[in-house]
Amino acid sequence: MKKVGFIGLGVMGLPMCRNLMKAGYPVVAFDLKREAVDEVVGEGAERGSSPQDVASRVEVIITMLPDSPQVREVVLGPAGVLEGAKPGSIIVDMSSIAPGTSQEVAEEARKRGVRMLDAPVSGGQPGAVAATLSIMVGGDESDFNECYDVLKVMGSSVVRVGDIGAGNTVKLCNQIVVALNIAAVGEAFVLGAKAGVDPNVIFAAIRGGLAGSTVMNAKVPLVVERKFDPGFRIDLHIKDLANALQTGKALDVPLPFTGLVAQVMQALRVQGKGGLDHGAIMTFFEGLAGVEIRSKN
């Protein structure tokens, strides 16, 4: 088995790292939060002192970081991955960032003889824990094939979608669909609730038809029970939509509804709801109508 470096032990990264270890992969781990590193070291990982140190000790370096600036810093910055990575090693950036950043970082890596894949994920913390993430991979096909077994440990779906940057482009498409779907479900169920129909009845009636979706199945039962513990926080979805809008601008692609939902999320952040699950997008429409999507039972 390849020795794997894992940099970024946050809400998603920590369970992903654990799944690699459970599958028998030797792991060298690093995070700015020492407590997170202590956890995985206690479970059998080796401790890395910096991204450079991690990269110098492994063949595959996985990064799972908040956004583009952090990826640039960790890979290209002082004591970064490229200062330690051996020629021929592979960086697998599983962060959700701007596709252009993936391409820029990959080009710098190429100059050092280091390969790179961008491999963002969908599925939230539950998917990270259960190893059922959908992983969208951009990069050279031979590099993808080389890393497939490693990625399959963390996800139930691992698909190469094109060259470097394509992974994050597909992730942005995914995030647009999810955000707009939650908003549409919110508007619809608020209308039904205001009219006096039990949301559970609405859900049962329409989930099997064309309006049904994975988003509806996942989010409506939680909203009805007023459960907004984060599987995927509004703050993170705001970041993804900002990257989508930035990419759309660069490609001359208008994204009017994406911009609208991004503003809805920003309003919720101002209300102190940025740390809630993105299902709480529905509460914006509740506020407009003065009603809650709540079970009558």
Please list, in sequence order, all residues whose beta carbon lies within 8 angstroms of the beta carbon of residue 66, skipping any fewer than 6 positions away.
Answer: 10, 95, 236, 239
Residues of the chain with confidence (pLDDT) below 50: none
Neighbours of 192 (CB within 10 A): 19
What pLDDT sits at residue 99? 96
Taking phi over 0 as left and psi of -120 to 50 as alpha, with beta for the rest, 33 belongs to beta
Q: What is the rounded distance in angstroms from the CA atom of residue 106 to the CA atom of residue 69?
A: 14
What pLDDT sits at residue 124? 86
Of 140, 86, 78, 141, nearest in space to 109 by CA? 86
Rg, C-alpha atoms of the chain: 20
176-226 pLDDT per residue, tens: 999 999 999 999 999 999 999 999 999 999 999 999 999 999 999 999 999
What pLDDT sits at residue 296? 77
What pLDDT sits at residue 101? 96
What pLDDT sits at residue 214? 93
Dig out the tokens for 76 from the structure. Answer: 């290209």
Instruction: Please tell me the pTM assigned to this model.
Output: 0.92
Q: For the chain, list the domains and their CATH numbers.
A: 4-164 (3.40.50.720), 169-289 (1.10.1040.10)
Q: Known catalytic residues?
A: 171
34, 41 Cβ separation under 8 angstroms: no
What pLDDT sits at residue 146? 97
- 245-278 CB burial, b ≥16 within 10 A, e <16: bbbbeeeeeebeebeebbebbeebbeeebbebbb
Pairing state of beta strands 133-138 and 121-122?
antiparallel
What pLDDT sits at residue 20? 98
Dig out the tokens for 181 from the structure. Answer: 């779907």
Of 196, 186, 188, nearest in space to 296 by CA? 196
